[in-house]
């Protein structure tokens, strides 16, 4: 009899213990600004929400009201975070439209037939490729009939031989004033690309930014990534344009205070699906609930997001994002 009672007590403890661990993880994310390891906890807000919704029926059935209240509070905070920067899609496509493909190709890939076939068959207007290596440049160079305007920037710094931060931009529209900007205050070599894209039927060019910040593993790289986001924020704020796009593998999610700070300062919007941010990494984990959204296409108020979807990974550890925007003249 005692054994049975002890088992029941142990079973009743399990949801409470899980709720406590969940609260601890979510609580750690509140201090994401102070340390790189704490910042990692901030990226799983969607997973925290799902976990609370799974646990709630169990704790309610056990009449654990304090634990129930804790889970409800966590769920409300998570829900608020996920949708606080939501930019709902607008089905109105009455004006000019533009499609943008954002894709971290992964530097170790040396064959690109799948990506080439997609570009030839679907022809998105602007393509931004991170971790580009010479084999990517060779492939895209053969597509000049489709993409006559190309910017190829291959970072050859020895620090990044395995994972170069090269960026290739392809455009079906003329690109002018394409400039590559470095970061004087960083210990590692990195840069971002700024281009003016001339699109018919609008009076001003689209200002396109593309960058791949550092992977924030370890305090030094985390500090570098945060500086990169801060510097590009200041440069975007100096733009006198209502048509700005910023595409890249940001190495951070919308739940991190650093990306939220960039959005607040620049006034740019996130490209969301109807249910929230689209998870893009890692593609090798086939369980979507364990993936996080670190690839983004940000846009200014001169655009309306009409459609966004995730494409097959085509061998990369990232999923590509394809967004369609309606342009407000």
Q: Which residues contact 313 (CB under 8 A, 6 or more apart)?
A: 283, 319, 320
**Could you say which of 27, 58, 83 is where a domain stops?**
83
- Asked whether residue 285 is domain-assigned, the answer is yes
Whole-prediction pTM value? 0.91
**Could you say which of 31, 58, 83 is where a domain stops?**
83
- Asked whether residue 88 is domain-assigned, the answer is no
Same domain, 272 and 172: yes
Residues 125, 129, 135: CA angle, nearest 5 degrees: 115
Q: 31: which 2 tokens?
A: 């201090």
Query: In the chain, which stretches have pLDDT less than 50?
Result: 1, 158, 160-162
Q: 272: which 2 tokens?
A: 């969301």
Measured distance CA(193)–CA(118) in Å, rounded: 24
Same domain, 17 and 131: no
Q: Which residues contact 222 (CB under 8 A, 6 or more apart)?
A: 36, 39, 216
pLDDT computed for residue 160 by the predictor: 47
pLDDT computed for residue 256 by the predictor: 95
Same domain, 198 and 257: yes
Same domain, 318 and 175: yes
Same domain, 208 and 264: yes
pLDDT computed for residue 158 by the predictor: 46
pLDDT computed for residue 155 by the predictor: 66
Q: Which residues contact 278 (CB under 8 A, 6 or more apart)?
A: 271, 272, 293, 308, 309, 310, 319, 321
Same domain, 17 and 106: no
pLDDT computed for residue 182 by the predictor: 79
Same domain, 66 and 111: no
Number of DSSP helices (H) and strands (E) in the chain, helices first: 8, 11
**Could you say which of 83, 118, 153 is where a domain stops?**
83
- Total number of domains in the chain: 2
């Amino acid at each position: 009899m005692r054994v049975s009672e002890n088992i029941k007590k142990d079973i009743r403890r399990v949801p409470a213990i899980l709720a406590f661990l969940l609260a601890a993880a979510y609580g750690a994310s509140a201090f994401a600004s102070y340390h790189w390891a704490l910042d990692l906890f901030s990226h799983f807000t969607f997973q925290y929400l799902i976990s609370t919704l799974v646990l709630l029926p169990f704790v309610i059935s056990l009449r654990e009201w304090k634990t129930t209240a804790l889970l409800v509070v966590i769920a409300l905070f998570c829900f608020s975070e996920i949708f606080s920067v939501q930019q709902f899609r607008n089905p109105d496509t009455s004006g000019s439209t533009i499609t943008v493909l954002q894709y971290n190709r992964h530097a170790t890939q040396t064959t690109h037939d799948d990506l080439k076939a997609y570009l030839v068959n679907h022809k998105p207007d602007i393509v931004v490729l991170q971790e580009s290596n010479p084999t990517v440049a060779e492939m895209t160079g053969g597509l000049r009939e489709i993409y006559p305007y190309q910017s190829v920037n291959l970072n050859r710094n020895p620090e990044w031989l395995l994972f170069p931060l090269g960026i290739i931009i392809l455009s079906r529209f003329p690109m002018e004033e394409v400039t590559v900007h470095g970061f004087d205050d960083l210990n590692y070599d990195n840069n971002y690309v700024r281009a003016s894209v001339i699109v018919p039927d609008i009076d001003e060019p689209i200002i396109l930014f593309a960058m791949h910040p550092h992977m924030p593993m370890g305090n030094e790289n985390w500090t570098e990534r945060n500086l990169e986001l801060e510097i590009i924020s200041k440069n975007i704020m100096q733009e006198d344009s209502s048509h700005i796009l910023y595409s890249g593998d940001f190495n951070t999610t919308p739940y991190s205070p650093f990306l939220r700070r960039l959005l607040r300062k620049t006034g740019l919007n996130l490209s969301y699906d109807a249910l929230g941010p689209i998870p893009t990494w890692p593609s090798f984990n086939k369980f979507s609930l364990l993936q996080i959204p670190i690839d983004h296409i940000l846009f200014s108020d001169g655009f309306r997001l009409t459609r966004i979807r995730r494409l097959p990974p085509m061998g990369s550890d990232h999923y590509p994002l394809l967004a369609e925007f309606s342009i407000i003249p």
